[in-house]
């Protein structure tokens, strides 16, 4: 009988106690004495967020398929339990075993977004694991990071023993086998790390040295031991039919997760090439899953979970070539059984509207468009591949189909942005409202509601905009004011609601996204001063971060405001993410020339990912 790590008295004190007890349907229990590797799979945010992460779910299922590995889940305790655990010296524990994380062989941390970095330190701290990798000994677990943010691991490098760059289905078996072999041979921690760094996709920060120029930019980045690779190559699945790990029995959360449904991943990558989008670059090439396999997966997952909704997951669902067949099957097979179908990442066209009218209550739902920029000029700069005609046509068809609510997402602070581009956001919202009121009054569904939301642009590694400068906090606020004022000047202003993202969070995200190893000092100092759950507005404290910058002497503006030269050594240049630097520089130049690059199915742009031998790069061209 499993003994819970938290007694009843504590569980009654904390919010959502079910976050911490484990034992859910389809969770995996093993005898830890009968496995060779005990792996703690960590998501550094609350249970509800982590349980919605598809990457974590895939690796949990994949690792537990091995008889010699037991993978259990760990999430960041919310602030109420964090306080109790520190006061009562309760170590952080795994959900399955309810035993301390520190007793595991590996602690694997998913790095999905920059604002979770202080939570990474919380997990290590509460586990009793030294925060700095150099302070760990033979008894400490090996701390490994992966996920989207691992494509620039440097701000977190001092805290990790190793990073995994790419898709988890490829090299983890080799890593586990190396660990077992090293253990059997009586090897040390360093012996294992030397073995690991030679496995494709594995980066060991301790085996590399960085030097800096007087102006603060990087002078050199090189291995400090023989046999250590100079570049780390991203690992990807070439064949989605043979290598993709389909989850048959996802863990069913006890409480409502953020994504409380079955997630059916239909493809990886994106053909679009938006110049601001990191995911669209690092997850190339676009690779589709076979529609017949997806049908089987959908049936199995519904049967094994009892969920009542299926969500199709991809960066751009409309680009999945067998979407119509798949959606038709799902509607015919499951709708009479009370199963809803969720279709995110769709371009709004006649097919999408027809499907959504079948799977949604039109009167209750709203449609989402992401023009990203207010003018066609700026949409061409960012290579959005969406014209105003497309947007107005899609909105018009939706309104005639019974919808009367539209969400519009934009970014402010994009490269080359002018005041006219900002005002264009208001003008586009106005034209969409006019599109609604062109419908005869007796055919309208009440008043139209247009929700305009703007976030502030953050340049990300491995995008054509990785060299771009950001704006100051005050500049961002002024940009939002321009949009707000222009919306108020529109004839249909009462139908348009405007909201914007907080600029202080954006500035910090920009710092963490393109930081180097020196940035770890700020993260550590901010954590020591109380920074935690920075992705949550109710707990984010920018004043703490400002103090951390001041006390460490790290210049925030150096990392955020300045535009980089394409000759500069960037902190992540040692990683081969598939897309070549030559391609990114070419796209950066085309952006300034306001020229559009066709999507991957229209014409190959020679980005470099053909090296992986699969996906859209090898589709037959008619």
| pLDDT tens by residue, 393-441 | 999 999 998 999 999 999 999 999 999 999 999 999 999 999 999 999 9
Least confident of 310-314, 373-377, 451-455: 310-314
Q: Tokens for 31?
A: 């005898």
| pLDDT score of 351 | 80
In the chain the first and final C-alpha atoms are separated, in Å, by 62
Contacts of 442 (CB under 8 A, 6+ apart): none
Q: What percent of the chain lies above the pLDDT cut of 70? A: 99
- Is residue 89 packed enough to be buried (19+ CB in 10 Å), middle (13-18) or exposed (0-12)? exposed
165 pLDDT more than 90? yes
Q: Are residues 269 and 315 in contact, defined by beta-carbon separation less than 8 angstroms?
A: yes
Cβ–Cβ contacts within 10 Å for residue 438, how many?
A: 11
Which segment of 296-305, 341-350, 416-425, 470-479 scores lowest on mean pLDDT? 341-350
pLDDT tier at 180, thresholds 50, 70, 90: very high
Q: Report the top-level CATH class of 261-360+578-622.
A: alpha beta
Q: Under DSSP, is residue 270 helix (H, G, I), strand (E, B) or coil?
A: coil
Length of the chain: 622
Per the prediction, the chain carries an average pLDDT of 95
The answer on pLDDT for 375 being more than 80 is yes
DSSP string of 120-169, one letter each residue: HHHHHHHHT--SSGGG--TTSPEEEEESGGGGS-GGGGGG-SEEE-B-TT
The answer to whether residues 105 and 141 touch, using CB atoms and an 8 Å cutoff, is yes
- Using the structure block, give the residue that is written with the tokens 């970014």: 411
Distance of alpha carbon 553 from alpha carbon 547, whole angstroms: 10
Q: How confident is the model at residue 338 (pLDDT cuts 50, 70, 90)?
A: confident
pLDDT of amino acid 521: 98
Q: How far apart are CA 477 and CA 458, in angstroms?
A: 15
pLDDT, average across residues 441-465:
95
pLDDT of residue 620: 65
Q: Is the pLDDT of residue 622 over 50?
A: no
476-535 pLDDT, tens digit each: 999 999 999 999 999 999 999 999 999 999 999 999 999 999 999 999 999 999 999 999
Convert 388-406 to b/e letters by CB count within 10 Å (16 or more is b): bebbeebbebbbbeebbbb
Rg of the chain (C-alpha set): 25
Tokens 């969500």 locate to 311
User: Residue 356 has what pLDDT?
Assistant: 80
pLDDT tens digits along 260-300: 889 999 999 999 999 999 999 999 999 999 999 999 999 99
Q: Averaged over 576-590, what is the pLDDT?
A: 98
What local confidence, expressed as pLDDT, does residue 259 receive? 82
Confirm if 81 and 7 have CB atoms less than 8 A apart.
no
Residues 442-450 have a mean pLDDT of 92
Q: What percent of the chain has pLDDT over 90?
A: 88
pLDDT per residue over 75-97, tens digit each? 999 999 999 999 999 999 999 99
Measured distance CA(164)–CA(199) in Å, rounded: 10
In this prediction, residue 1 carries a pLDDT of 64
Name the CATH superfamily, with its identifier, for domain 8-233: Cobalamin-binding domain (3.40.50.280)
Peptide bond into 433 cis (omega under 30): no
pLDDT of residue 336: 83
How far is Cα 143 from Cα 152, in angstroms, rounded to an integer? 17
Alpha carbons 369 and 525: distance in angstroms, whole number: 40
Per-domain residue ranges for the chain? 8-233, 261-360+578-622
Checking if the pLDDT of 175 tops 90, the result is yes
Mean pLDDT of 584-602: 97
**Per-residue tokens: 57:** 């779910």
Using an 8 Å Cβ cutoff, are 343 and 327 in contact?
yes
């Amino acid at each position: 009988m499993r003994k819970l790590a938290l007694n009843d008295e504590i569980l009654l004190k904390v919010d959502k106690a079910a976050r911490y007890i484990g034992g859910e349907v389809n969770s995996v229990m093993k005898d830890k004495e009968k496995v060779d590797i005990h792996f703690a799979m960590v998501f550094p945010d609350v249970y509800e967020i982590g349980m919605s992460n598809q990457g974590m779910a895939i690796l949990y299922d994949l690792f537990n398929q091995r008889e010699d590995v037991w993978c259990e889940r760990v999430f960041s305790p919310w602030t109420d339990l964090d306080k109790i655990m520190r006061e009562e010296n309760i170590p952080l524990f795994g959900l399955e075993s309810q035993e301390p994380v520190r007793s595991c062989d590996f602690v694997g941390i998913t790095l999905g977004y920059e604002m979770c970095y202080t939570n990474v330190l919380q997990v290590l701290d509460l586990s009793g694991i030294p925060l700095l990798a150099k302070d760990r000994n033979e008894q400490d677990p090996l701390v490994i990071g992966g996920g989207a943010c691992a494509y620039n691991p440097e701000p977190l490098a001092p805290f990790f023993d190793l990073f995994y760059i790419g898709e988890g289905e490829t090299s983890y078996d080799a890593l586990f086998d190396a660990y077992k072999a090293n253990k059997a041979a009586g090897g040390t921690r360093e012996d294992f790390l030397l073995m690991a760094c030679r496995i494709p996709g594995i980066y060991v920060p301790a085996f590399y040295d960085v030097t800096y120029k007087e102006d603060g930019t990087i002078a050199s980045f090189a291995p400090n031991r023989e046999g250590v690779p100079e570049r780390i190559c991203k690992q990807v699945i070439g064949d989605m039919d043979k290598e993709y790990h389909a989850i048959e029995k996802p863990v069913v959360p006890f409480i409502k997760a953020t994504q409380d449904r079955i997630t059916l991943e239909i493809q990886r990558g994106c053909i679009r090439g938006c110049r601001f989008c990191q995911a669209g670059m690092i997850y190339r090439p676009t690779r589709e899953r076979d529609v017949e396999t997806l049908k089987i997966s959908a049936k199995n997952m519904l049967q094994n979970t009892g969920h009542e909704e299926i969500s199709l997951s991809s960066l751009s669902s409309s680009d999945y070539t067998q979407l119509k067949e798949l959606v038709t099957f799902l509607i015919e097979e499951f709708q009479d059984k009370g199963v809803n179908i969720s279709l995110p990442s769709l371009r709004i066209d006649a097919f999408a509207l027809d499907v959504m009218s079948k799977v949604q209550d039109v009167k209750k739902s709203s449609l989402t468009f992401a023009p990203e920029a207010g003018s066609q000029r700026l949409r061409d700069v960012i290579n959005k591949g969406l014209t105003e005609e497309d947007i107005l046509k899609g909105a018009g068809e939706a309104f005639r189909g019974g919808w009367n609510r539209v969400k519009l997402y934009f970014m402010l602070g994009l490269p080359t942005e002018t005041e006219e581009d900002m005002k264009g956001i208001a003008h586009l919202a106005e034209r969409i409202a006019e599109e609604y009121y062109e419908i005869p009054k007796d055919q309208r569904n009440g008043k139209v509601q247009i929700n305009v939301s703007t976030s502030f642009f953050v340049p990300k590694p491995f995008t054509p905009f990785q060299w771009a400068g950001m704006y100051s906090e005050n500049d961002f606020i002024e940009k939002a004011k321009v949009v707000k004022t222009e919306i108020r000047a529109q004839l249909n202003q009462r139908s348009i609601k405007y909201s914007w993202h907080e600029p202080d969070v954006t500035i910090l995200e920009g710092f963490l996204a393109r930081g180097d190893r020196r940035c770890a000092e700020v993260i550590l100092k901010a954590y020591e001063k109380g920074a935690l759950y920075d992705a949550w507005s109710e707990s984010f404290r920018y004043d703490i971060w400002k103090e951390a910058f001041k006390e460490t002497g790290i210049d925030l503006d150096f990392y955020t405001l300045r535009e980089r030269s394409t000759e500069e050594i960037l902190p992540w240049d040692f990683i081969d993410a598939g897309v070549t630097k030559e391609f990114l520089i070419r796209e950066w130049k085309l952006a300034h020339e306001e020229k559009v690059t066709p999507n991957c199915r229209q014409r190959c742009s020679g980005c470099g990912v053909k090296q992986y031998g699969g996906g859209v790069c090898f589709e037959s061209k008619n």
